[in-house]
Structure 1
Amino acid sequence: MNHMENPQDELDVLIIGAGVSGIGAAYHLQKEHPGKSYAILESRADLGGTWDLFRYPGIRSDSDLYTFGYQFKPWTDEKAIADGPAIKAYINETAVENGIDRKIRYGHKVKRAEWSTKEARWTLTVELADNGESFEMRAKWIFAATGYYRYDQGYMPHFDGLADFAGQVIHPQHWPEDLDFADKKVVIIGSGATAVTLLPELAKEAEHVTMLQRSPTYILPVPEKDRLGLALRRWIGDQRAYRLIRRKNILRQKFVYQFSQRFPKAARAFIRRVNRKELEGSGCDVDVHFNPTYDPWDQRLCAVPNGDLYKSIRNGSATVVTDRIETFNQAGIRLESGQQLDADIVITATGLNVQLFGGIEVEIDGEAFDAPESVAYKGMMLSDVPNLVFAVGYTNSSWTLKIDLVCEYFCRLLGHMDQVGADIAVARITDPRMKRIPLLDFPAGYVLRALDSLPKQGTEEPWYLAQNYAKDSRFLREGNVADEYMEFRRSERKSEVEEEIPV
């Protein structure tokens, strides 16, 4: 664990989190503002964020790495849909190549952040993982690259009779490295990306795997490799090929999402046809187990590389059951239909617990920050919260596409403040009558459970989250940072310091 030599020194920017967002933020910051000081505080013992935390078999991205990867660093692995270790290695390589790794302080958990308008500074209380001691750091800006969920706790619903179960119960967020599932009966509870990823991987060694879902999810096969991308790399080199394939895949994502939203019946019919073809002769009833009640892209689609999930069902090593749990018992799970699922291991792929800013307590001039009363500004700042940027990616496209835009805009914002001599930037709502709606218009269970604790969004720009890369790209790259909603100020501290400087 490496500690800062002078932990109370003031910094220009403190980046919280050394995952894909935090490393990206550091790259942009030191490229555009090489004179500004920064550090990355990471509560865990290594970088990678999600890709370090989740260790379950088969962990992978559900977006292609040509769009999930950074705009500035080509993805050169053969596989476009990559596994967790490969993604973590890519993030680590980015950090090392750019000297960002030397700025990371591992085992540093931010517990509290207090803003002083008079000082134009954040004071952060940081706890050290190795001894539990706390100290303070000060910074002009916070870049919260903390993701959107609790790292220490996944979502676990109540199950009657769980204590009676004689087998093992595992949550994917806390996967034991020594878990032996060979020749075991495994039941996976859930139907999201984690369950869909686990099923084919566990089915390779388990006696049998059952994916128990309360309701189906839209699932589509995707090629693990982008053959056009691989060919272009041979012809025109990594950099140019990466740019072209990235652009192609961004347009494809946009088309699929917009087509699904505008023509849901046609999209649903297409997905059903694909599933029927993939599962032909398997005995799996597509109308029951692959027939969601919602429209495509009302929730995120699950991608299965090379159709691996379908193969496991076709060869009989895995089964999908759509039903509700009545109770656990010693042997496994009894369903409301009366069916008994015997199990040696039950995996609860039941979702995440959403958490803002990694659970950090935030105070503004002595007043506790009330997240539900704030409104997101350009999807990266919050109303009445000065000098704080947060990074949350897209729900309908690759996460990192939005992160790159946020980082670029943040650097433009810092540049403007330097030009005008301001040290405080805060977004203000000018129309108190503006309608407020949930921040995430996304009916996934983990989102619905957290809506009451999250900030809101408005119904008009810049308070509305477009979830549209092309629109956001124009808005954040070309839009005016000094709009009518952004208030720039010079603090008392800055004014006093400048008065002391001889002209």
Structure 2
Amino acid sequence: MTGAATTERNQPDVRDAGHVDVLIVGAGVSGIGAAHHLRERFPDRSFVLLEAQDAPGGTWWTHQYPGARSDSDLFTYGYRHKPWRGKSIAAGDAILSYLDEVIEEDDLADKIRYHHRVTALDWSSEEHRWTAEVTRTDTGERLRLTTEFLWMCQGYYNHDEPYTPEWPGTERFEGRIVHPQAWPGDLEQDGKRVLVIGSGATAATIVPAMAETAEYVTMLQRSPSYWFPAPTVHELATMLEPLDLPAEWTHEILRRTYVQQLDWLATTGLEDPDQLHEFLVETIRPLLPEGTDVEKHFTPQYRPWQQRIAFVPDGDFFTSMREGKAEVVTDEITEFTEKGVQVGSGDVLEADIIVTATGFNLSVLGDIPFRVDGEPVDFTKRVTWRGMMISGVPNMAYSFGYFRHSWTLRVDLINDVVGRVFDRMAERGVTTVVPELRPGDEDMPLLPWSDPANFNPGYVMRSQDKMFRQGDRAPWTHMHEHDQERVSLPAADLDDGLQFR
């Protein structure tokens, strides 16, 4: 450690909070999954989860906007080990209840420390451990915790600072402007005119939910997105219900069914995008109000799956349109006015409430400053090892799920690989594992975190410059599909790119 790091450790106003074998950052779906894995495979290892919020659930706790729900089916979004028993598409409260059950069944409640925000992470090769600087978000108290292994499960976006573009005239608007990520508990929408800016999964959720009681809801989009009217209950689930099968059987049957469906969407989007484009557009055409300009409002200019498809349970968004409760406007914002938003056509879209469903900001490992032996880690100069570890950063894994498939499918796979790494370290009697470029990899080009030709939504493109990189060869690549990784990750050679010391 450098002198500066040692001085920080010895500051009298920082309380020693102990030592654990594994420190998990985040108590959302990734962190709870990692904790289950440790309980099951490594019961003798001590661990804690540090969570900045005051309850578990991550996204499902912080997203309180109307209609908040999954846009992935829960048979694949749920954990491999715990059958999902509800509807395929579930509301946020149902997902939180599911996570609460995992916490209770695995006796994890006393392992989670809420209101604990990690503010710095420091690795010492001399001591073979990480030191985490932590601030209590409720009291301001500063803590210090040490660990042998760091497991980053904090998610991929900044929960506290959502993305909102700068528009001229916002201060003139006489109504209320809210962002879904910071939904106010006192917002009264009944009988109000609502303007939702954005066309992604959040807008697709909020519009039909608010249309139930609002006077009228308008969704303003700069350009169209792809939509898919997924059934809330899969027809296969309806067929299986009278058979009274064990929950584990039903879960596995539906899980495999959804995986196959998602594989088809991902593969077709890459290999035959015209076919998938036609399938998606023609699927929603009969659900739209008569006379809808499908070309203008529902025909994207990008390849299917270059951005997320907005899954619409039972087509509720289109139902709101047919019932005359909601509409879609495709145009550019010129400026905000006292009564609403003026668009490029010259029209003013009047509103009492404007919802900026404009996305979020990506966060590289929680935007926590890392140091290795006193040297700050510049992640933009580092590459990923199989999308779960970072070159030159010892004893650290991170959980990052899929964008096209359900997030948790990959979390389960990562947990298995991390378990194999723990086993290898124990077998060899070593204390440290670190990804290091192999001979011949030093001059490997550093490619963007996400290839724009593969996946290019706004939140990814805005953050490319601060994310870690990938190489042009295995094991230094990521963003692969589940049909490939469910084979490649279990078979990953741990001696290829990892150094055990």
Alpha-carbon distance between aligned partners in 2 of 1:241 and 1:224, rounded to the nearest angstrom: 16
CA–CA separation in structure 1 for the residues paired with 2:257 and 2:200: 26
Alignment partner of 2:477 out of 453, 464, 467: 464
Alpha-carbon offset, residue 460 of structure 1: 1.4
User: Are 1:13 and 2:15 matched, yes or no?
Assistant: no
CA distance in 1: counterparts of 2:138 and 2:295, whole angstroms: 53
TM-score of the pair, normalised by structure 2 = 0.94
Residue 434 of structure 1 is matched in structure 2 by 444
1:130 to 120, 138, 154: 138
Q: Which amino acid aligns with 1:62?
A: D
The Cα offsets for residues 440-473 of structure 1, whole Å up to 9 and x where unpaired, read as: 2321101101000000111211111152223212
Cα deviation 1:321-345 (Å, max 9, x = unaligned): 0000000010111111101101100
State the partner residue of 1:485: 497
Distance apart, 1:8 and its partner CA: 3.2
What are the residue-to-residue correspondences of 1:22-421 with 2, within 5 Å? 22-77=31-86, 79-232=87-240, 234-281=243-290, 283-421=291-429
**CA distance, structure 2, for counterparts of residue 456 and residue 212 of structure 1:** 34
Q: In 2, Cα distance between the equivalents of 1:433 and 1:61?
A: 42
Determine helix, strand or coil for the equivalent of 1:56.
coil
Paired amino acid for 1:41? L
Following the alignment from structure 1 to structure 2, what is the Cα–Cα distance between the partners of residues 153 and 479? 36
Residue aligning to 1:496: none
Contact 2:475-2:496 within 8 A present in 1 as well = no
- Offset of 1:361 from its aligned partner? 1.1
Matched, 1:451 2:464: yes
Q: TM-score, normalised by structure 1?
A: 0.94
Task: Give the AA of the match of 2:312.
Answer: V
What residue ranges of structure 2 are gaps of 5+ in the alignment? 1-14
1:150-172 Cα distance to aligned partner (Å, 9 max, x none): 11110011010000000000000
2-structure distance, mates of 1:464, 1:358: 21
Question: RMSD of the TM alignment (CA)?
Answer: 1.2
| 8 Å CA contact retained: 1:17, 1:146 | yes
Tell me, in whole angstroms, the C-alpha distance in 1 between the residues paired with 2:203 and 2:41. 41
- Provide the C-alpha distance between the structure 2 equivalents of 1:26 and 1:235, rounded to a whole number of angstroms: 32
What's the CA shift for 1:347? 0.3
Alpha carbons 1:275, 1:286 under 8 Å: kept: no
**Distance in structure 1 (CA, Å) of the matches to 2:190 and 2:464:** 40
Asked whether the equivalents of residues 284 and 320 of structure 1 are also in contact (C-alpha less than 8 Å), the reply is no
Is this contact kept in 1: 2:277–2:303, CA < 8 A? Answer: yes
Distance 2:341 2:376 in 1: 45
Residue 280 of structure 1: CA displacement? 4.5
